[in-house]
Chain A
Amino acid sequence: DQQVKQNSPSLSVQEGRISILNCDYTNSMFDYFLWYKKYPAEGPTFLISISSIKDKNEDGRFTVFLNKSAKHLSLHIVPSQPGDSAVYFCAAWDSGTYKYIFGTGTRLKVLA
């Protein structure tokens, strides 16, 4: 059973507009969440994270929002740039078993 879900396989956004990527999780014990970006033929690279004690974390153009009651997090990219075109993975840290659980990814395409 998928514990971390990204229900949108793909998303297209115009350059300069906001990109919103969504992620849902099922395990209320997860207390740390991460977003990774992956370009073709490269390994995933860490983008931003959020602890469950916060509801928002911001880093430049990237902001992650966490809604614990809904078991939902989202990544906002403002403004979107063509270089942001990549696959984005949401992940949760399972502190009980010391492992990261990843979603299926969302392919973002930013159109120039």
Chain B
Amino acid sequence: NAGVTQTPKFQVLKTGQSMTLQCAQDMNHNSMYWYRQDPGMGLRLIYYSASEGTTDKGEVPNGYNVSRLNKREFSLRLESAAPSQTSVYFCASSDLYRGMNTEAFFGQGTRLTVV
């Protein structure tokens, strides 16, 4: 199984350009998440989707939009990229099995540079 797959792995954008980061999971998980990792800031939640058909803002949603396309796929869109969005982006998925807590599984990350 591939687990959580993110594309692309690397991207350079010019300020003002738009792009969509793709994420797909093959574990039949209900919940999906987008985090960004910045030095000294840890993993900060951008948006998440607790279940198919729902999305919610996390800590740092400004400048981003998301789409839960189906149960497998959760995309993150930057409409007008800014240098402050230079970061490493991680997609993750998880599930609640029979009401018990479980861990989140992460993709390999997308390293985005906005110049």
Q: Which residues of A contact B (CB under 8 A)?
A: 6, 9, 31-32, 34, 36, 41-46, 49, 51, 89, 91, 93, 95, 97-105
Contacts and interface: CB of A to CB of B under 8 A. Distances in A.
Interface of B: 4, 31, 33, 35, 40-45, 48, 50, 56, 58, 90, 92, 94, 96, 101, 103-109
Contacts of B45: 99-102
A100 B33 contact: yes
Closest 9 CB pairs of A and B: A43-B106, A104-B42, A102-B43, A98-B50, A32-B101, A46-B103, A44-B106, A43-B108, A105-B42
A99 B93 CA distance: 10
Contacts of A9: 40
A98 B31 contact: yes
Contacts of B35: 102
Contacts of B40: 9, 104
A34 B42 contact: no
